[in-house]
Amino acid sequence: MQKIAVIGAGTMGNGIAHVFAQNGYAVNLVDVSAPALEKALQTITRNLDRQLAKEAITEAIKTQTLGNISLQTDLATGVKDVSLVVEAATENIALKLKIFQDLDQHAHPDAILATNTSSISITKIAAATKRPAKVIGMHFMNPVPVMKLVEIINGYATDKTVTSTIVALSEKLGKVPCVVNDYPGFIANRILMPMINEAICSLFEGVAGVAEIDTVMKLGMAHPMGPLQLADFIGLDVCLSILHVLHDGFGNPKYAPCPLLVNMVTAGYLGVKSGEGFYKYTAGSKELVVSERF
């Protein structure tokens, strides 16, 4: 497995492409938007420069990494000769099903089709193809070049040899693979999102303030980032979407999203990506400032 394709040039897609390319794989980074691809390459270059400044890589590795990445706007061309496709498009079920139908049509019959979804059923995605045994979840964490975990999710029909191949590949990337089964939220988000939701509920009910909630979890539970800051980093819209998946999938009211989260997303306060969520974010500043709304 020397050549792969990554579908989607957003935050996760460019990070996944970066990691594969830095580890010697030829990568076709595919997106319908040429400007998005150029922006992704700029981001990868900046991240490589950070690694270079920290002496984590050499100039030769940076050059080789960038040389391993090919930008493609046509999906059929981008996947026709690869052994693995990693889909990292927007977390939208209709879009993912359409992408996997297209991947099934254009990728080599022996190619493994992986999705970076954080919550959508692998079994449902696999059912959109004629190769469900070769479909698997490969859930990287953000930022991909830094975070070690890859949550590997078996769909109901995923072949064991496919799982072992992806486990071995993740290890070659310097990651730590953890294999889980396909139920709503998998493991990472099944545990994380209720915690974030409970933190939001505690704020909503006036139990404590934003900074206090995050400080308790950072200093008391040794979390590197408090749940409200983490929610801002993930994107409050993404958190809400995953909670809906959990609530719909289990039918259990404990997964119902907090009304405050719903209101914030409806109003467009999405966290870092919008400039304000539980905290306010100013370009060029690393100071953590609680939103005036709280």
Token pair listed for 10: 């957003």
Answer for the pair 200, 261: CB distance below 8 angstroms, yes or no. yes
Task: Return d(Cα 146, Cα 9) in angstroms, integer.
Answer: 18
The span from the CA of 55 to the CA of 75, in Å, is 36
Neighbouring CB atoms inside 10 A of 220's CB total: 8
Helix/strand number for the chain, H first, E second: 13, 10
The SS3 of residue 277 is coil
CA distances from 56 to 60, 63, 145 (A): 12, 14, 12
Annotated binding site: 8-13, 31, 91, 96, 118, 142, 273
Alpha-helical regions (H) of 141-223: 160-172, 188-204, 210-215, 221
Residue 61: exposure state from Cβ atoms within 10 A (0-12, 13-18, ≥19): middle
Q: What is the dihedral of CA 166, 171, 173, 178, to 10 degrees?
A: 70
Active site residues: 118, 139, 151, 189
DSSP string covering 198-213, please? HHHHHHHTTSS-HHHH
CB count within 10 Å of CB 187 equals: 15
